[in-house]
Structure 1
Amino acid sequence: MSDSQQSGPAPSWWSRPAGPAEPHPQDRTAPATPAAEEAADPVAEPVALPGPRYDPWGERPLQVVDHGKPRRGPGLWQLVVFGAVIALLAGGVGGYLGILAERRTGTRLELPQAAADDKGRAPDSVAGIAATALPGVVTLHVSGGGGSGTGTGFVLDEQGHILTNNHVVADAKDITVTFSTGDSVSAELVGRDGGYDLAVVKVSGVRGLRPLALGNSENVRVGDPVVAIGAPFDLSNTVTAGIISATGRPITAGGDKRDGSDISYVDALQTDAPINPGNSGGPLLDSRAHVIGINSAIRGADKGEDGDDPTRQSGSIGLGFAIPVNQGKRVAEELIRTGRATHPVIGVTLDMQYKGDGARVDAKGEDGKPSVVADGPGARAGIRPGDVITKVDGVRVHGGDELIIKIRAHRPGDRLGLTVLRDGKERTLDVVLGSASDS
């Protein structure tokens, strides 16, 4: 196609490159006329391009503006930025519309909740009792005798004396006391008594001790609410609650030693407050946060389905027993004062194999000794070998263990009325209890 076939004059803002190269068909145009050259900008000179350029997006010729400087169409990065802005705007609008839709449809909701408050609890509530007593309760970790164990105790006074069970610290070489704050210190053994299953340890150099107030176990009635605090299975500061299920429940515990010196005789308070291994030595508290008992023993369930397995499960089944605090107080005072406790006695030897109702005084005695100690409390009251003691202060006893428990619930020097069965007749004898110490 010749130049004369172009339909119009060529644009004045580009020129064809010199040389024999065949121009693009669209670039063919008539030569510029003098009038066109005169119409051009007299200041800016046209830019001579090496050849026609085409926009890669539409193959359009590049435009030259502003004194011949080229301006391209939108680049790739510009399109990416533009697309990102559009996406953000679309996402924001969509999210806002989604929130509005959720609020309108109810799929997004906020549940009502009570505001936090720092109000205390009533002093006689379980929480109130626990708050009062916890600072005075400690966890004991003991080691020695080829093993280790955990128990509980509570602070008696500001001098650092702590009351616990004898079986917690028996044979212990090292005793560590941990307070409710988590602070731990070493403790030394002051004294212990296997017959009462009580012991006292002492910490030194500890300030701010919080002794627990001691109540009166004679005021306890069946059905009274109680709280137990201890470290069952080493879970310190565990609080449980229940009621007094029974009072004056005769129990014996221990007895692993051959001579029977570790058997404890307790006229116990029975409670259904959960007590487990590790609670031993911890306080049993009344509604005023006063100690009314020292948690000491539990009755476990038989493992055998028919109850024929003598071994017991170790968990609580709601049968817990505590040493009355009146007994614990007396023993603790003696242990602090002398390192040993005294036991009230009547000065007789009992036939522990007797199967009848009551406790029978042995007719023969042991190792050639008389069964009734000469000039002892029983002899002075008129007790004779072969007598069967059936009541203590009018309360019936059913065996030798129960008689020992009822007697040990009193102090040396207390006066008791013992009902004895002799030659088929009952009579009541007035006995003043004597004293014996347990080494």
Structure 2
Amino acid sequence: MTGGRPGALDGPAAAPEHPARPTTPAPADAAVPPSPADRPRPLHEPDPYSTPPYGGPGPWAPAPPVQHPVTTPAHGTPAHGTAPPAPAPAAPAPWQRYDPWSAAPLQQTGAAVETREQRRRRGRRVLVAGAAVIALVAGGIGGVVGAYLEREGGIGGGGVELPQAGAESHTRPKDSVAGIAASALPGVVTLHVRGSEGAGTGTGFVLDGKGHILTNNHVVEPAGTGGEISVTFSGGETARAKVIGRDSGYDLAVVKVSRVRGLKPLPLGNSENVQVGDPVVAIGAPFDLANTVTSGIISAKERPITAGGEKGDGSDVSYVNALQTDAPINPGNSGGPLVDSKARVIGINSAIRSADGGSESEGGQSGSIGLGFAIPINQGKRVAEELINTGRATHPVIGVTIDKRFTGDGARIARKSQNGGPAVTRGGPGAEAGLRPGDVITEVDGRRVHSGDELIVKVRAHRPGDRLELTLERGGDERTVTLVLGSASGD
């Protein structure tokens, strides 16, 4: 150890690990605060550079280090030996809070002096960073507010958004009305007829892939012999059609389109299997509203009806042992299909009952009142086959003339025919079965007959060659006879 101030170390004073923080010298008589090793360690070691409040050392600040004379390189290095007496230390400058907007340089002993330009640059950086943060926060808040306003209908709740079911499959069960309609509609057509006898609209349905279409006779009748028939399919395609054959007695007709691809024939059911109460769907073009679908049930079977008769000579009267339905049928539905739950045709919609008890042709009110009638498909199939194969349909007959003036129960055979000849045709089915003028036929195959028209309906529901059992009254006695139906050509 060399000479010098007692307690001084040999050689240059060791520089502290961190720059010394200026402190206010404690009075000579003040107690020396304990060193950091003498006191409990706080939970977090104090930062030796942290600024204590109000510029003074904090309660946990370390004791001031021993001061040694230090000469900056500009003033030389102290020589070895006895150090000159240290000058009295100047009063250390108090710690100041950093003010980025202050024009005065930062006063801090042992630290580099920050210039005004550096403070300005730092201030700009702080300002730019703050603006960026504000922009990000504002953008996030704006997005949240925008989403809320969109959901709630805008400021003030002016818009309304109602709950709604999501998208669902368009597929429906095959036996539902929608499923039946989807299956049958492609085979249904709308007919527009124009000719010398007028114009009209009706419905028909495709029978086969050759272009044959079945409809009512009264639908195509206005075309006459030189008229025009236009067929419109469910998809909107149109084609010209020509009449293959028609029959007023059955009120059925077949027309044909040519060079049409993608035809969708409808499957034919069996009208003998139909029961009262069975669900049915009617498809047609009521009042020219194509592809109209209505539904209902079978209200009755074997309902004897007559329709037509506009000419007054009876030649255009049709006799139908009809299926009755409450499915709405209106003008324009004529000729359209009545289908069952498997989309099979069981009838051809042909007639309606009007509210005032008359038909539309008789001046009655048009429109459905839930009383519609369809030709059974078993009868329609037979007639359609004959019209396609020969151009004409055959009618089953019993070879007798019916007395239309009879008002009793049953069908009475007239005394003479309309032309004055015999009422029972010689050699006909009735004559061979033993029928006589004046006999009253009361049953056909065990089913009651109440009028002459009803007898004709029952007979025409069969084919020529079918065997019938008739119950009749003669002179107060009841007897039963059997006959084989004959055949007559229709118009």
Residue 464 of structure 2 corresponds to residue 398 of structure 1: no
Q: Deviation at 1:171?
A: 3.5
Determine the C-alpha separation between the residues in 2 that align with 1:380 and 1:150.
46
Match for residue 232 of structure 1?
286
Distance 1:399 1:103, change over 3 A: same
One-letter code aligned to 1:133 = A
Match for residue 344 of structure 1?
396
Determine the C-alpha separation between the residues in 2 that align with 1:169 and 1:407.
26
Determine the C-alpha separation between the residues in 1 that align with 2:194 and 2:363.
25
8 Å Cα contact 1:303-1:311 kept in structure 2: no
Determine the C-alpha separation between the residues in 2 that align with 1:313 and 1:363.
39
Return the match for 2:205 from 138, 151, 154. Answer: 154
Distance 1:250 1:96, change over 3 A: closer
Which shows bigger deviation, 255-264 or 235-244?
Answer: 255-264
Distance 1:359 1:103, change over 3 A: same
Residue 168 of structure 2 corresponds to residue 114 of structure 1: no
Return the match for 2:342 from 275, 288, 292. Answer: 288
Return the match for 2:184 from 129, 133, 141. Answer: 133
Determine the C-alpha separation between the residues in 2 that align with 1:247 and 1:168.
24
Determine the C-alpha separation between the residues in 2 that align with 1:422 and 1:162.
46
Residue 410 of structure 2 corresponds to residue 358 of structure 1: yes
One-letter code aligned to 1:341 = A
Match for residue 425 of structure 2?
373
Q: Which runs of 4+ in 1 moved over 4 A?
A: 94-109
Determine the C-alpha separation between the residues in 2 that align with 1:418 and 1:303.
32
* Count of aligned positions: 345
1:133-192 C-alpha deviation (Å, 9 max, x unpaired)? 000000000001242100000000000000000000014110000000101000000000
Match for residue 114 of structure 2?
none
8 Å Cα contact 1:302-1:311 kept in structure 2: no
Q: Deviation at 1:287?
A: 0.1
Match for residue 18 of structure 1?
none
8 Å Cα contact 2:153-2:161 kept in structure 1: no
Determine the C-alpha separation between the residues in 1 that align with 2:196 and 2:151.
72
- Give the match's secondary structure for 2:381: helix
Return the match for 2:382 from 319, 322, 330. Answer: 330
Q: Deviation at 1:197?
A: 0.2
Determine the C-alpha separation between the residues in 2 that align with 1:193 and 1:101.
68
Gaps of 5+ in 2: 1-142
Determine the C-alpha separation between the residues in 1 that align with 2:151 and 2:208.
66
1:116-140 C-alpha deviation (Å, 9 max, x unpaired)? 1334100000000000000000000
Matched residues, percent identical? Answer: 72
Determine the C-alpha separation between the residues in 2 that align with 1:185 and 1:171.
18
8 Å Cα contact 2:200-2:222 kept in structure 1: no
8 Å Cα contact 1:299-1:320 kept in structure 2: yes
Return the match for 2:364 from 308, 312, 320. Answer: 312
1:93-132 C-alpha deviation (Å, 9 max, x unpaired)? x999977987898765532222113341000000000000
Return the match for 1:164 from 215, 223, 232. Answer: 215
- Give the match's secondary structure for 1:170: helix
Q: Map 1:21-420; keep pairs closer than 5 Å.
A: 108-172=159-223, 173-302=227-356, 311-420=363-472
Q: Deviation at 1:311?
A: 3.2
Determine the C-alpha separation between the residues in 1 that align with 2:384 and 2:152.
73
8 Å Cα contact 1:344-1:408 kept in structure 2: yes
- Give the match's secondary structure for 1:128: helix
- Give the match's secondary structure for 1:367: coil
1:215-259 C-alpha deviation (Å, 9 max, x unpaired)? 000000000000000000000000000000000000000001132
Determine the C-alpha separation between the residues in 1 that align with 2:350 and 2:406.
28
One-letter code aligned to 1:291 = V
CA RMSD of aligned residues (A): 2.4
Determine the C-alpha separation between the residues in 1 that align with 2:311 and 2:393.
19
Which shows bigger deviation, 248-257 or 138-147?
Answer: 138-147
Determine the C-alpha separation between the residues in 2 that align with 1:99 and 1:115.
20
Which shows bigger deviation, 177-186 or 104-113?
Answer: 104-113
Determine the C-alpha separation between the residues in 1 that align with 2:380 and 2:340.
16
Please, what TM-score do these two structures have when normalized by structure 2? 0.67
